[in-house]
């Protein structure tokens, strides 16, 4: 990071603020499109990208009233295989894409009834779902408890190893010529006398439409000049000065704690499919990795930017995991971790531009950052190069907050 007060002598076509999978995917694809890109990475990308299960699960996470989100998630799933294949070709790294599907199981009759209601809704949306009784569930996954009441197989839901994927993205970006500056973007600067884009500096602020973005300011005191800025800072996006107040307020950190388990020597793999279980009304998931890891997660906590791991969360996750997969007790507890998902009032991402010329947002992906990283990169690069993004993005522009205000989000879905 540059020393305080030192001007960074860097200019670029595009500065991407944020080094998680969203920001790095955008940087890679923008550079591949011929743009000169600087990625400003504060080395805090593990706030979400490295603390994730890597589920690509638009079907088993589809909820009532989120039709627009489902459509963009299905677009994301369709894009992911070709994106991952190109990433592996460019880097020579495997990203751990698994296509066995997700098995959702219910622990008791009440859990099963809730699962059937969601399954009926998902089928009504044209999604593939196969109902299974307890015996059929255990035929797919022999280590499941016999107490499992029943389940549903969602073959269209996959997973990827999030840490391998993030590492491959960083390597691909570097190979494409992306320059990385270790620093946190604190403000977007406009062409009007260096003012922030929200006119925070008072009398010198642009009137009417804000001045065009001309660069960013860094926490260390330097600046990076550019023609276009992409704010992709995840849960920290709201801390970037220069965004309208409505957009800064629209992104909040949602804490999630999860566990990484490993197989002891001699124990065969205990899972083939991702398991999404409901245990007496509480959701837990178990995601297998090719190297023998099993990810168990995850809590959803409205605690601000808190990243502490709590004993209660570890206990609850292990208890629920062992309720449906008793062999979990024999695995090695390799890591406990907590991350911050970027949530929004309507659970949808914020992608695209608004009244400030040259300033784009790519944030608010909540639980779907890994899944949506390829199509978010596609959408942002389309905007950067003057092309329209896919129509599925129309409900998720920044304008739903800036123009309509926070009260208008219900009409955007």
136-195: pLDDT as tens digits? 999 999 999 999 999 999 999 999 999 999 999 999 999 999 999 999 999 999 986 445
Q: How confident is the prediction for the chain on average, in pLDDT?
A: 90
85 backbone dihedrals φ, ψ, rounded to 5°:
-65, -40
The model's confidence at residue 202, banded by pLDDT at 50, 70 and 90, is very low
Confidence (pLDDT) at 196: 56
Q: To the nearest whole percent, how much of the chain has pLDDT over 70?
A: 90
- Mean pLDDT is lowest, of 97-101, 212-216, 345-349, 405-409, for 405-409
Tokens at 232, concatenated = 């992709």
pLDDT exceeds cutoff 60 at 4: no
CA distance 392 to 349: 12
Indicate if the pLDDT at residue 48 is higher than 60. yes
State how far the Cα of 398 lies from the Cα of 393, in Å rounded to an integer: 11
- Tell me what pLDDT residue 290 has: 86
Tokens 């570890």 belong to 314
Residue 56 phi, psi dihedral angles, 5° rounding? -110, 85
What pLDDT was estimated at residue 291?
A: 85
pLDDT at 44: 60
* DSSP letter assigned to residue 202: G
pLDDT at 9: 55
Work out the average pLDDT over 41-48.
71
Half-sphere exposure of 407 (CA within 13 A, CB side): 0
Element (H, E) at 333: strand 332-343
pLDDT higher than threshold 80 for residue 8: no
- Reported for 132-136, long-range contacts at CB under 8 A and 24+ positions apart, including other chains, are 132/103
Q: What's the count of helices (H) and strands (E) in the chain, helices before strands? A: 9, 18
Burial 46-64 (b: 16+ CB within 10 A, else e): bbbbbbbbbbbbbbbbbee
Torsion 301-303-304-306 (CA) sign: negative
Nearest Cα neighbor of 228 from 258, 267, 197 is 197
Q: How many CB atoms lie within 10 A of CB 351?
A: 26
Confidence of residue 232 (pLDDT cuts 50, 70, 90): very high
């Amino acid at each position: 990071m540059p020393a305080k007060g030192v001007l960074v002598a860097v200019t670029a076509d595009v500065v991407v603020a944020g080094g998680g999978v969203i920001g790095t995917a955008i940087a890679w694809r923008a550079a591949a499109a011929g743009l000169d890109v600087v990625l400003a990475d504060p080395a805090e990308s593990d706030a979400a990208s490295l603390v994730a299960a890597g589920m690509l699960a638009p079907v088993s996470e589809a909820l009532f009233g989120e039709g627009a989100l489902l459509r963009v998630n299905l677009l994301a799933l369709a894009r992911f295989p070709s994106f991952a294949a190109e990433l592996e070709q460019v880097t020579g790294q495997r990203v751990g894409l698994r296509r066995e599907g997700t098995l959702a199981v219910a622990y008791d009759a009440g859990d099963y009834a809730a699962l059937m209601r969601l399954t009926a809704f998902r089928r009504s949306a044209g999604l593939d779902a196969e109902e299974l009784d307890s015996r059929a569930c255990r035929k797919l996954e022999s280590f499941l408890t016999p107490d499992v009441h029943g389940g549903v197989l969602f073959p269209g839901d996959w997973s990827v190893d999030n840490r391998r994927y993030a590492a491959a993205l960083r390597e691909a970006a570097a190979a494409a010529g992306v320059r990385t500056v270790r620093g946190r973007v604190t403000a977007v600067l406009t062409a009007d006398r260096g003012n922030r884009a929200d006119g925070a500096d008072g009398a010198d602020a642009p009137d009417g439409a804000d001045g065009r973005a001309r660069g960013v300011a860094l926490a260390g005191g330097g600046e990076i000049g550019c023609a276009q800025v992409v704010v992709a800072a995840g849960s920290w996006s709201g801390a970037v000065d220069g965004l309208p107040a409505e957009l800064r307020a629209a992104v909040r950190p949602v804490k999630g704690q999860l566990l990484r388990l490993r197989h002891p020597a001699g124990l065969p793999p205990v899972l083939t499919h991702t398991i999404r279980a409901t245990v007496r009304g509480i959701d837990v998931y178990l995601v297998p990795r090719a190297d023998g890891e099993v990810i168990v997660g995850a809590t959803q906590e409205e605690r601000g930017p808190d990243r502490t791991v709590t004993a209660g969360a570890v206990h609850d996750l292990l208890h629920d995991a062992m309720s449906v997969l008793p062999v979990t007790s024999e695995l090695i507890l390799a890591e406990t971790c907590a991350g911050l998902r970027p949530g929004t009032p309507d659970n949808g991402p914020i992608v695209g531009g608004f009244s400030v010329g040259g300033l784009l947002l790519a944030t608010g992906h909540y639980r779907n950052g890994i899944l949506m990283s390829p199509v978010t990169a596609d959408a942002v690069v389309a905007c950067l190069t003057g092309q329209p993004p896919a129509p599925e993005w129309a409900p998720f522009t920044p304008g739903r907050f800036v123009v309509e205000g926070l009260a208008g989000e219900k009409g955007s879905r």
